[in-house]
Structure 1
């Protein structure tokens, strides 16, 4: 391990330049204009794995964006096998005007690396590649077999990875799965994530009159599509933040007493969240703390709302059409398809007069929660504590990694979610960044984890 650490220190600037090259690739999976960028990114990863010394590397086509698979099996059939999962796709960068520097031109400021994908998830995936490289370059071997699966569709719900995992589960067979795509609890406080919320996304397309109308000639006599959309959306959540879609909370699994106590011991998180997001008051489902609301309770959020005139000044029209994009974060006991059906039923029952509504389903992902009894979790905790010199926290995460539940049901192995990002690093938002302190400590932690295993 010491030789590998020395290698990483000696090649740090070279590796950061490699990471910059990775981050420059515009691998936005949700936008068709970046289709070739995703293919170029997959090819870049293939070459990075070859440089690291992995024996077998493939770019494998799916129905949309390719996956990259790599392996080194030189430890032999009797040795343990570690599977590492990550994703090379990133979120769109809008609103572009809020970025202080160009999103695909990596910049270091205050020992933070700014770029889209720096924290979610190119930077964290890259660390595992470099850790393997460091051991292979210094020792010529690993004490275990390693496999990598890096996809290009996580940010759009991994629509093709479930099928891939099901078809390739023999190839992906391992003793433990490692994922670094989750945040630590806070600066200096590492965390092992034990649960993820699921995802259900839907778009409402509302149409009223056959075209936009003059607001003077027709105003007050016909339905305004934007007003109707606001009215409809207002029926989905009450003033206190409770979701009013019938049956939305049905079947939610209760936490064990042990997990409730573990979360409570970390504190409410209310004050730190206020400071982090810059508000004087939080809002959400009554009776829960900020951590509970974001870790163990479901949500229904409007992500986009548009219609009518968007330009400078005023245009006196009654819009004919209006659109809303909605996502729900789900918890164990909820099924994304069932939730989408309930939202569609709610829309049908609450559509205002004078308009029609079409719904279009988008990303889905099932929630995940796992016990932490396997020795791999204890090894991860010891590794964090060796490097960060503090007790590790066991947390859940409010975000989603859709394929994790599929890994759980198909591979039947412990899944250790050990991330190195911070909640404040603006992933999915302008000015995404990655603290290089955690890049350095994260590399050391990964090596220590392998040592503990």
Structure 2
């Protein structure tokens, strides 16, 4: 590791953290229309930060939704090009009362920075900008060519980024795509993610009578939409945690024995995880380990259910409608459109009499997997080990980054998922935070990686 980078980050740490706080103060919640101006403000902040770091041709590019920020540095003649992807939008903050400090008032305590977006993904995207700033400031040049594609809709499934990539393939063309939006294995144990689950989401709307009814006058004679919804939802999984939608598993690619052995070799302490989560026992698809269930097996989960009277006390009402939101995490080679069609067919088959059921489609994203032996991925492992003094694990992740598969398919380039967050940093939940140890080491790891990648790709 070049000591100049260590010195630069040490001398500029307070400035960098203050700048990160500025970004985290912007409530760029892409899912809420009332935050549209904040999302645009975050895009402009990212663009200004890229300019200050020394990037060229920086622009905020419109889409049908929230804008994409682009920037580049292409002065390393004859050298490969790296495309860096990240996102500046964040999840909603509910339930607000569970936050110890306000979600958009960044607070540093216990060597962690607390705020919505601290780890997912503002903090990690910010690190990429500052790593290149450090190299440019200390050496006057960069070892590779770089492009940035920072979007504002990842938290709502990147609905407009596929088209953006298709329309800007020439602008985004590169040799390697690098993303920092995945967790490490645990504290002190870096990990390179080689697979992501895909995603599809539906809302189920059950309609009964034209309006709420008195349960004394009509109870027992009119179908209750909540009862109907519960029956539909209960039909989707059996007691062994298996998904009962016909055809759901047909395209699932079995995990090789080699990868199963690699999972076992990680030495995950399931009991410690169980205690940390506060659950009496784990539950899931019978016959699979915790890692298999969360990394390489598909799911169908109810994310929200509502209908009828929600206030204090009781109201003897027979509600006219009920609703549920469900999402599925998908694995290779499941197709989200096909899974949605299977679920809709299942709902139609299991709808009780006396109600009408409709569905609304939400997020969709394809699963992704990449070979661990690609030189760019192996170089990332060496960079991690140089800084963390521990070998990097090659893992999969149960979450989804829908655009990853699109980038790989449309741009035909390898994807390196090297994140610096930790699994317990509450991304998508109250009190999201980012360990500053990984902020500091992550900056050095990225600097190390760019030079290691230069050496790797030249050989």
Aligned residue for 1:448? 448
Aligned residue for 1:105? 105
Give the 3-state SS of the residue equivalent to 1:243 in structure 2.
Answer: coil
Between 158-167 and 118-127, report the one with greater CA deviation. Answer: 158-167
Cα distance in 2 between the residues matched to 1:284 and 1:295: 12
Contact 1:200/1:363 (<8 A) preserved: yes
Aligned residue for 2:456? none
Cα distance in 2 between the residues matched to 1:166 and 1:223: 48
Pairing of 1:127-146 with structure 2 (within 5 A) = 127-146=127-146
The runs of at least 4 aligned residues of structure 1 exceeding 4 Å deviation read none
Pairing of 1:11-90 with structure 2 (within 5 A) = 11-76=12-77, 78-90=78-90
Q: CA deviation at 1:124?
A: 0.5
Aligned residue for 1:9? 10
Give the 3-state SS of the residue equivalent to 1:171 in structure 2.
Answer: helix
Gapped regions of structure 1 (runs ≥ 5)? none
Contact 2:372/2:394 (<8 A) preserved: no
Contact 1:248/1:342 (<8 A) preserved: yes
Q: CA 1:302 to 1:376, structure 2 compared with 1: closer, same or farther past 3 Å? A: same
Q: Deviations over 1:417-443 (max 9, x none)?
A: 000001101111111111111111111
Between 223-232 and 327-336, report the one with greater CA deviation. Answer: 223-232
In the alignment, structure 1 residue 363 sits paired with structure 2 residue 363: yes
Cα distance in 1 between the residues matched to 2:214 and 2:150: 52
Aligned residue for 1:166? 166
Cα distance in 2 between the residues matched to 1:116 and 1:54: 27
Give the 3-state SS of the residue equivalent to 2:29 in structure 1.
Answer: coil
Give the 3-state SS of the residue equivalent to 2:10 in structure 1.
Answer: helix
Contact 1:87/1:125 (<8 A) preserved: yes
Give the 3-state SS of the residue equivalent to 1:360 in structure 2.
Answer: strand
Cα distance in 1 between the residues matched to 2:404 and 2:391: 26
Q: CA deviation at 1:343?
A: 0.5
Give the 3-state SS of the residue equivalent to 2:51 in structure 1.
Answer: helix
Q: CA 1:268 to 1:242, structure 2 compared with 1: closer, same or farther past 3 Å? A: farther
Give the 3-state SS of the residue equivalent to 1:46 in structure 2.
Answer: helix
Q: Deviations over 1:383-434 (max 9, x none)?
A: 1111111111100000000011011111121111000001101111111111
Q: CA deviation at 1:257?
A: 3.0
Q: CA 1:2 to 1:80, structure 2 compared with 1: closer, same or farther past 3 Å? A: farther
Cα distance in 2 between the residues matched to 1:303 and 1:164: 29
Q: CA deviation at 1:260?
A: 2.1
Cα distance in 1 between the residues matched to 2:227 and 2:273: 33
Between 357-366 and 132-141, report the one with greater CA deviation. Answer: 132-141
Contact 1:269/1:291 (<8 A) preserved: no
Contact 1:276/1:424 (<8 A) preserved: no
Q: CA deviation at 1:221?
A: 1.7
Contact 1:205/1:358 (<8 A) preserved: yes
Q: CA deviation at 1:268?
A: 5.2
Aligned residue for 1:237? 237
Give the 3-state SS of the residue equivalent to 2:170 in structure 1.
Answer: coil
Q: CA deviation at 1:5?
A: 2.4
Contact 2:200/2:363 (<8 A) preserved: yes
Q: CA deviation at 1:57?
A: 0.3
Contact 1:269/1:290 (<8 A) preserved: no
Gapped regions of structure 2 (runs ≥ 5)? 454-459
Cα distance in 2 between the residues matched to 1:172 and 1:148: 8
Cα distance in 1 between the residues matched to 2:143 and 2:267: 39
Cα distance in 1 between the residues matched to 2:412 and 2:205: 40
Q: Deviations over 1:75-125 (max 9, x none)?
A: 12x012111100111111111111111111111121111111111100011
Contact 2:5/2:444 (<8 A) preserved: no
Give the 3-state SS of the residue equivalent to 2:84 in structure 1.
Answer: strand
Cα distance in 2 between the residues matched to 1:410 and 1:272: 41
Contact 1:270/1:291 (<8 A) preserved: no
State TM-score, norm by structure 1: 0.98
State TM-score, norm by structure 2: 0.97
Aligned residue for 1:305? 305
Pairing of 1:88-237 with structure 2 (within 5 A) = 88-237=88-237
Contact 1:29/1:152 (<8 A) preserved: yes
Q: CA deviation at 1:168?
A: 1.3
Aligned residue for 2:457? none
Give the 3-state SS of the residue equivalent to 1:451 in structure 2.
Answer: helix
Cα distance in 1 between the residues matched to 2:265 and 2:33: 45
Cα distance in 1 between the residues matched to 2:268 and 2:248: 25
Give the 3-state SS of the residue equivalent to 2:92 in structure 1.
Answer: coil
